[in-house]
Amino acid sequence: MADNSRQAILDQLRRTTLEPVALPDLRGPWTTSDDPRRQFAEVLAAVGGRAITVGSLAEVNAELEKIPAYQNARQICSRVAGIARANVDLDAAGDPHDLEKVDFFIAPGEFGVAENAAVWVTDESIKHRVLYFLTQHLALVVPARELVSNMHEAYQRVKLGQRQFGLFLSGPSKTADIEQSLVIGAHGARSLTAFLVES
Amino acid sequence: MGTAVRSHPLEAADFVANDSRMHWHDKALWFVRAKRDKAAASVPEWEQLREAASQIKLHTLSRLPEYLEEFERNATRLGAVVHWARDAEDHNRIVLEILKKHGIRRIVKSKSMLTEECHLNPHLEKNGIEVVDTDLGERIVQFRNEPPSHIVLPAIHIKKEEVGELFHDRLGTEKGASDPTYLTEAARGHLRDKFMNAEAGMTGVNFAVAETGGVVVCTNEGNADLGVSLPRIHIACMGIEKLVPRTQDLAVFTRLLARSATGQPITTYTSHFHGPIPGGELHIVLVDNGRSQFRESEEYRSSLKCIRCGACLNTCPIFRRSGGHSYHAVIPGPIGSVLAPLREPKKYYSLPYACSLCGSCSDVCPVKIPLHQMLLTWRGDLAAQKALPWTKRAMMKCGSLVLRNTWMYTLAGKLARTFMPWMPRWTLYNPLNAWGKHREVPSFPPHSFRELYRKRQQKNHGR
Ligand code: SF4
């Protein structure tokens, strides 16, 4: 039955030969950013998130402590080394549902994109990808030098085709489905902080 | 199937009857259009991107069978199960079989116009499966037992007070409360529960990449990702036109999609699924449902380039003032008016006329579909197919006869100028003349342009 459908669709498509159209060359040049770090921070603010530049990973703890949602967080999970108050062991969670109550999740981001403040994250180092969406608040730690200008550069860097979940994440979860009023925190994270680490 | 629904003007009349609501709707969409303009203007190479997007889609269409096979090979290699559905029935059967095999009774679903097109929800519900639409706007219209009125903003036609009433009934929010933040929070709590208890998640697909075998889903709320990262089973349904050949092509489309749709630089979540969740299953259903036939049509083929951004709806003066439901089609607005008659010309004959030919839709379309030109072509094709009702055909015939014969045209003008001013009002303003409903004919001049011109020429020569 299913095989029939497959063959029928392919046959129908092969019945008509269309004129060849060349694939466009996407090498650009595309607009690049003069100051990716500034642009990233500005765009992130515009989409409801916040970028904080820190000198080193050690400063992240101090900055986190200034965030009210972090101060009040009971369950904190981290995939970044050295986060002092992390108390949820991701590896111990057998089922993604066990992570329901996580208040704050701190994860590494591979690189950021200046034009849209998206950060590339994957499920490689985190056992349950759901945590990016289930946590109440999210912080991403990105090396400050790992910022690209635009999506063309971004897709040059990502390696798709392996068995993996990958995500461009730009700002906190949001909706404007009720009368076009922007509400932050639809289903996913209510806040997004990106730490740009200089060294 | 095939029988006429009420024509668009009749449906629109209901919407327009509420003047303040119409203007409110118009403004809400114009606001989105304005945001789109700003976002598009911020990208210097915008036109280059549109051209590239259009070329990529045309190229893919020209080699679609090869790319589908390539995609299937790669997706399978990554552990996904690829299914092929010829039509809506096939699609619904495949989905139900997967769910039944696992004894699944509760699923969550993120926005997918394709499953609307296939009427999946009623099919699953009939078979005892609870389907929860998790996009906030979709949940609102699902509660109301309505279809979405817009492809990106499903509940754009509903006021916050009405959402407040609805949520009071359904979710026990405070009576009279209509604050969007409060209502969204209530929905968040309600839907978290549904996510936690779902046994499978369904999503649509924005893009599928042939060379990698993965699918890309774009959302702002995060509902699609939550829905397919808690349960073990993910079913992704896609039209066969969603394919792009290369990873690089995604750059072009992710730059265009959200900017065109809502004016955002990118959607909050752009998720790339390559293979199933560890220990789970990923099913990808490739759906034809008429697309392979549309592809054969020289005139309308390029409508398959559509990435469902909704920009043509937001900019359309008719859509803004008549609301999505007046189209009575799964996809409303300019692109819907092109697609619907491909399926059922007799039923949807009036949609290509729901257009002033202003061309704004074609200007904003990120993949350069010549929408207004297609709508004009449709008018000719529908007449040729005899899909128009006799009243419209008779009027067109009369009009064409008069316009083709100079003497008839001159005579008609003369008669009108002489007699119309003396005729009783009802001869012009009656139910047969839709144009007279909200408009007054300007008073007839004593002489026609041709008469005035002739006089002037004579005077000049006389000198
Ligand atoms: S036709 Fe063009 S503008 Fe309209 S929804 Fe499709 S891609 Fe967007």
CB of A56 less than 8 A from some CB of B: no
Q: Among B137, B159, B247, whose Cβ lies nearest the Cβ of A177?
A: B137
| Same domain flag for B213 and B94 | yes
Domain CATH for A100? 3.40.50.10420
* B11-67: pLDDT as tens digits: 888 888 888 889 999 999 999 999 999 999 999 999 999 999 999 999 999 999 999
Three-state SS for B272?
Answer: strand
User: How far is the C-alpha of B83 from the C-alpha of B285, rounded, in Å?
Assistant: 5
For residues B295, B300, B301, B304, the Cα torsion angle rounded to the nearest 10 degrees is -100
Asked if residue A9 is part of any domain, the answer here is: no
Measure the CA–CA gap between A21 and B118, rounded to whole angstroms: 31
A28-44: average pLDDT: 96
Split at pLDDT 50, 70, 90, the class of B308 is very high
Q: Which amino acid is at A189?
A: A
Non-local CB neighbours of B297 within 8 Å, separated by 6+ positions: B342
**What is the distance between the alpha carbons of residues B456 and A124, in angstroms, rounded to a whole number?**
84
- Testing ligand 1's pocket by substitution, the residue of B331, B369, B371, B374 carrying the most ligand atoms inside 8 A of its CB is B369
* In a domain? residue B163: no
- Phi, psi for residue B21 in degrees, rounded to 5: -65, -40
Q: Pick the residue of B89, B207, B225, B240 with the most A CBs within 10 A to test the interface with A by mutation.
A: B225
Q: Assess B112–A contact: CB distance below 8 Å, yes or no.
A: no
Contact (CB, 8 A) for A87 and A73: no
Can you spell out the DSSP letters for B156-222? TTS-HHHHHHHHHHHH-PPTT---HHHHHHHHHHHHHHHHHH-SEEEE--SEEETTTTEEEEEESSS
Do B213 and B249 fall within a single domain? Answer: yes
Q: Are residues B249 and B359 in the same domain?
A: no
pLDDT score of B2: 44
Say if CB B120 and CB B144 are below 8 A apart.
Answer: no
Q: Which of B29, B32, B33, B306 to mutate to test the pocket of ligand 1 (most atoms within 8 A of CB)?
A: B306
Residue B365 lies in a domain: yes
| Burial class for A81, CB neighbours closer than 10 Å (0-12, 13-18, 19+) | exposed
With an 8 Å Cβ cutoff, is A86 touching chain B?
A: no
Tokens 């210097």 belong to residue: B44
Ligand 1, residues B335, B360, B361, B374: which to mutate, most atoms within 8 A of Cβ?
B335
Nearest CA-CA partner of B16 in B325, B312, B314: B325
Flag whether pLDDT at B4 surpasses 70. Answer: no
Q: How far apart are CA B231 and CA B201, in angstroms?
A: 7
Same domain, B96 and B209: yes
Q: What mean pLDDT do residues B233-249 have?
A: 97
CA angle B86, B90, B91 (to 5 degrees): 95
The reply to whether residue A14 touches residue B65, judged by beta carbons under 8 angstroms, is yes
Residues of chain A found within 8 Å of residue B271, distances taken between Cβ atoms = 165-167
Q: Is A79 inside any structural domain?
A: yes
Best to test chain A binding among B33, B138, B156, B268 (most A CBs inside 10 Å): B268
Interface contact A151-B195, CB threshold 8 A: no
Please report, to the nearest 10 degrees, the dihedral formed by the alpha carbons of residues B343, B346, B349, B351 taken in order.
-50
Atom 4 (ligand 1): residue with closest C-alpha?
B312
Q: Tell me whether residue A16 is in a domain.
A: no
Number of domains in chain B: 3
Q: Is the per-residue pLDDT at A34 higher than 90? A: yes
- Domain membership of residue A21 (yes or no) is no
Index of the ligand 1 atom closest to the CA of residue B305: 7
Query: Is some CB atom of chain A closer than 8 A to the CB atom of B222?
Result: yes
Q: Are residues B102 and B59 in the same domain?
A: yes
Amino acid B419: pLDDT: 81
Proportion of chain A in helix, strand, coil states, percent, rounded to 5? 30, 25, 50
Q: What count of Cα atoms within 13 Å lies in the side-chain half-sphere of residue B245? A: 20
SS3 at position B353: helix
At residue A82 the predicted structure's pLDDT band, cuts being 50, 70 and 90, is: confident
At B3, the pLDDT band (50, 70, 90 cuts) reads: low
Residue A26 counted as domain residue: no
Domain containing B332: what range?
A: 1-37+310-388
Taking CB atoms and a 6 Å cutoff, what residues make up the pocket around ligand 1? Answer: B 260, 306-312, 335, 364-367, 369, 371
Indicate whether B138 belongs to any domain.
yes
Same domain, B379 and B396: no
In the block, tokens 């199937």 appear at B1
User: Which chain A residues are closer than 8 Å to B59 by Cβ?
Assistant: 20-24
Domain-embedded: residue A24: no
Q: What is the CATH number of the domain that holds B258?
A: 3.40.50.10420
Please tell me which of the candidates A161, A172, A174 has its beta carbon nearest to residue B274: A161
Residue B357 binned pLDDT confidence (cut-offs 50, 70, 90): very high
| Number of independent structural domains in chain A | 1
Residue B346 lies in a domain: yes
The chain-wide mean pLDDT, for chain B, equals: 92
Domain edge (last residue) among B261, B292, B323: B292
Comparing B438 with B109, which gets the higher pLDDT? Answer: B109
Do B203 and B275 have their domain in common? Answer: yes
Q: Answer whether A181 sits within 8 Å of B160, measured CB to CB.
A: yes
> Could you give the count of Cα atoms lying within 13 Å of A132 in the half-sphere of its Cβ?
35
Q: What is the DSSP string of B17-60?
A: TSHHHHHHHHHHHHHHHHHHHHHHHT-TTHHHHHHHHHHHHHHH
Quote the ligand 1 centre to B336 CA distance (angstroms). Answer: 9
Last residue of a domain, one of B260, B292, B324: B292
Residue B213: what pLDDT?
98
The reply to whether B319 and B368 lie within a common domain is yes
**Which string of DSSP letters, residue by residue, matches B447-461?**
S-HHHHHHHHHHHHH
Q: Looking at this protein, which amino acid is placed at residue B319? A: F
Q: How many residues are there in chain A?
A: 199
With CB atoms and an 8 Å threshold, state whether A186 touches B153.
no
The beta-carbon neighbor of A96 closest among B191, B192, B229 is B229
Q: Are residues B456 and B423 in the same domain?
A: yes
Residue-wise pLDDT for B86-107, tens only, equals 999 999 999 999 999 999 999 9
* Gap between the Cα atoms of B328 and B303, Å rounded: 19
> First and final CA of chain B: distance in angstroms?
70
DSSP 3-state assignment of B313?
A: helix
Q: How many angstroms separate the CA atoms of B31 and B172, rounded? A: 31
By 3-state DSSP, what share of chain B in percent is helix, strand and coil, each rounded to 5? 55, 10, 35
Instruction: Give pLDDT tens digits for B368-390.
Output: 999 999 999 999 988 888 777 77
- 3-state DSSP of A14-32: HHCCCCCCCCCCCCCCCCC
B222 & B357 share domain:
no
The ipTM assigned to this model is: 0.97
B315 and B253 within one domain: no
Among B292, B321, B356, identify where a domain stops. B292
Task: Tell how far the Cα of B48 is from the centroid of ligand 1, in angstroms.
Answer: 17
**Which residues from B are below 8 Å from A177, CB to CB?**
135-137, 140, 153-155, 184
Residue B85: strand, helix, or coil: strand
Domain with A191 in it: 31-197
Tell which atom from ligand 1 comes closest to the C-alpha of B334.
Answer: 4
- In this predicted model, what pLDDT tens digit does every residue of A113-151 receive, in sequence order? 999 999 999 999 888 999 999 999 999 999 999 999 999
All residues of chain A having their beta carbon less than 8 Å from the beta carbon of residue B198 are none
The answer to whether residue B73 is domain-embedded is yes
Distance CA B287, CA B300 (A): 19
What chain A residue is nearest to B54 in terms of C-alpha separation?
A24
Mutation target to probe the B interface, by most B beta carbons within 10 A, among A27, A140, A150, A165 is A165
Using a CB–CB cutoff of 8 Å, tell me whether B169 touches chain A.
no
Q: Please indicate, yes or no, whether residues B355 and B379 belong to a single structural domain of this protein.
A: yes
- H or E segment to which residue B375 belongs: helix B371-384
* Residue whose tokens read 């392919």: A10
Q: Could you tell me the pLDDT band of residue B1, with boundaries at 50, 70 and 90?
A: very low
* Number of the ligand 1 atom closest to the C-alpha atom of B307: 7
* Chain B residue numbers touching A10 (CB-CB < 8 A): 65, 68-69
How far apart are the CA of B249 and the nearest CA of chain A, in angstroms? 8
Residue A92: DSSP 8-state: G
Task: Flag whether pLDDT at A155 surpasses 60.
Answer: yes
User: B56: closest CA among B366, B375, B370?
Assistant: B366
pTM given for the model: 0.92
For residue B463, the model assigns a pLDDT of: 60
**Cα R_g (chain B), whole angstroms:** 26
- Comparing A108 with B2, the larger pLDDT belongs to A108
Distance CA A135, CA B262 (A): 26
Give the nearest ligand 1 atom to B261 CA: 8
CA B332 – CA B310 distance, rounded (Å) = 9
Contacts of A66 (CB under 8 A, 6+ apart): none
**Which residues of B are less than 8 Å from A181 in CB distance?**
160, 180-181
Q: What is the pLDDT of residues B399-442, one digit of tens each?
A: 888 888 888 888 888 888 888 777 777 777 777 777 777 777 77
B337 is a domain residue: yes
**pLDDT tens profile B75-87:** 999 999 999 999 9
**Residue B309 Cα: closest atom of ligand 1:** 8
Q: Which of A2, A23, A127 sits opposite B83 (nearest CB)?
A: A2
* Host H or E run for residue B396: helix B390-404
B21 touches chain A (CB under 8 A): no
Beta bridge partners of B269: A169, B219
CB-based contact (8 Å) between B280 and chain A?
A: no
